[in-house]
Structure 1
């Protein structure tokens, strides 16, 4: 499949990667701010949205071999996602059927079977109970209630493992629909985690989704990005709360006063593409095209098969929203994953979970995009899976300048959302992905 050969399962037609999606009009309504602050809304949201949706549990590269598992915590629930002995992927509630103890506490690991730490009941990777300690002391009528782990729907797509608590949910491929082929172009299943950070923020999880689904705020919150990121951008919407946004790199925003000089930020991106800024003779208006051409040249030399990508995919960040709580930012060399995890009880908190996945190529000049901040201490070889670094509420998250700015601002936004003076958001067309997300949220909530 190449960049001009994508398939839309809804229309049955092929289309270019960059083609605009058919317009979806989500109206002009102003939703109540209760969705950001109300405990009752959050409780109903858990039952009607999270318990009925496909949830991205993690990258499939984290469980390559039988017995490899990852723990996925979201809201009040915890799940074990495991590679079974037959190579399939299974997902179970992280709870022993005997007395309710969680079975695993590590984020990642490898086991031949699961053993409860409380009374040492044992379970096969597929969730079947293989040993009840002192089984003869249980009346058969007790054990017949069920001793296996409670499993959930689990499917793999585009290099990620998804699970759902709803056994009747439609197949994952059908839900992902028009974006599945697009995501698969990046071959994320061949990437691996090189950074994984988790931090607790003083905001509702939807405040996180909202902030990361638009670049309208960049000039105010992240003015340092304006020299190298264009905020004239394409937004595409699809049914089911799915959306996409192109974020053009290597050219200044029209808000930036100097449109000609090749500033240090753009120089960094030229170096990324293998262009020496000292010998580059073009202006800032031409650097995005130069980056695209240089990456195609590198692909030809190294056999990277970038012919499957459009020009914009080579220079820009193509960011997908996967309902309800995921954003995936795609580049040929690396992908970033943002998940906005609701707090179990407090609508004024969420956990921000961010992962960078990288495809290793042992060649001079090839690396993850420099703006991702992969320092010299980061192992890009894939030989080691980094630990999850978790910072608690109120601790400096140390996520990098831009993300730290978001973590500082969102509690301020959340505090304002609790004010009687705030009547609900007023979204511009630049915030079309936000309105689209909330329209799907309202549909599932039955509004």
Structure 2
């Protein structure tokens, strides 16, 4: 949103915040949100539909290009449900392939990351280039004369960049990533994602369904209970605004309690020069459906992903990207900043196993959401669209009510 258009949009956002702060009831035109069936968090049949209809067809963050610093660099990811190699080819392109030899399924790599000029299956020695072409088979004489090397290239995975961020999609027919995120793409231009360097990445695991944790990052209704001594001290959750975009993507913006507030733990750190005043002075959180959450700040951006490890186990991956970062000589404030961020994450994780016990028990019938929690309902509406409503048992569906509130740009 360049120039005047961005300024006008942000003035509108500020006016919306003022309205939210002062209202005494939900907006008159906003519907009461129907209950979300509790079975969506525990029912094996529904979770299988979710896996096949949504996770296997979604754009999912895989890593940062700094993890591929030179031609021949590669890393392995298992977050798509099957092991996938992400590699930088000798010409500098980023490609992705299943870690599966086309002979008898042997692995091409066994480590988590490395550098190579190609891939060789450790089982029978079939050899491939970094862009997946089969170049040699052991004992070529034992194969038919018309054996077609081209038909035995590695099985590729859709791989596209959002600046310096690498996304994968197991669906070969998926809409291109930039088109898929729609109006969000223009807003993300201000972040100069292509210039940001990887600062840190670490993961955390807990015993709950992935949606239990995702829910917590789609609302700020919990701030006064969970983050009383951290985030709630400077954010005004009652003035939070929400923007719903097509395909389940969304934005949440929560103002600081004081307009002039600046995080003292970032003073003197390099800043993204093009970041808008609205994003710089408010807590704005972008969500790329289904599991990517990114609340940018001028001096650095945490990016979170929530990965299902099973019906009752979740991994949270937390990474940071920032401008002008030197990995060999990081800014001295980064250690404290990441430690403070980790403290907030642990606050969000603390009740997850107990919530999982509750949703599996007879006392949980469903989720009764309020207006502040509308992003959660929107997430579930999109899930049903991706699965296909007709495939979902009627008692596990959500009633679609939010279509009139989706902004299509």
1:52-71 equivalences in 2 (<5 Å) = 52-71=57-76
Q: Could you say which residue in structure 2 is the equivalent of 1:238? A: 245
Q: Corresponding residue for 1:44?
A: 49
SS of 1:91's equivalent in the other structure is strand
- CA deviations on 1:79-119 (whole Å, 9 max, x unpaired) are 11212222222111122222223323444332211122222
More helix by share: 2
Match of residue 429, structure 1, among 349, 362, 371: 371
Q: CA deviation at 1:368?
A: 6.5
Task: Note if contact 2:272-2:299 (Cα within 8 Å) is conserved in structure 1.
Answer: no
Q: 2:158 aligns with which of 129, 153, 158?
A: 153
- 1:213: Cα distance to partner? 1.3
TM-score (norm 2): 0.81
Q: Pick which of 101-110 and 47-56 moved more.
A: 101-110
Contact 1:368–1:374 (Cα < 8 Å) also in 2: no
TM-score relative to the length of structure 1: 0.74
- Secondary structure at the aligned position of 1:74 is classed as coil
- Partner-residue secondary structure (3-state), 1:415: helix
- 1:218-367 equivalences in 2 (<5 Å): 218-225=223-230, 226-231=232-237, 232-249=239-256, 251=258, 269-270=263-264, 272-273=266-267, 306=273, 308-343=274-309, 346-360=310-324
- State yes or no: 1:216 paired with 2:181: no
Stretches of structure 1 lacking an aligned partner (at least 5 in a row): 7-13, 253-261, 275-297, 376-398
What's the counterpart of residue 16 of structure 1?
A: 9
Correspondence for 2:407: none
Distance 2:223 2:125 in 1: 52
Deviation digits for residues 53-101 of structure 1 (CA, Å, limit 9, x no counterpart)? 2222222332243222232212531211212222222111122222223
Q: CA deviation at 1:217?
A: 0.9
What pairs with 1:98-113 in structure 2 (closer than 5 Å)? 98-113=103-118
Superposition RMSD in Å: 3.2
2:354 corresponds, among 405, 409, 412, to 412
Q: Distance in 1 between matches of 2:31 and 2:173?
A: 27
1:78 equivalent to 2:83? Answer: yes
Q: Which residue of 2 aligns with 1:403?
A: 345
Report the CA distance shift for 1:240/1:367 in structure 2 as closer, same or farther (over 3 A).
farther
- Name the SS of the counterpart of 1:206 in structure 2: helix
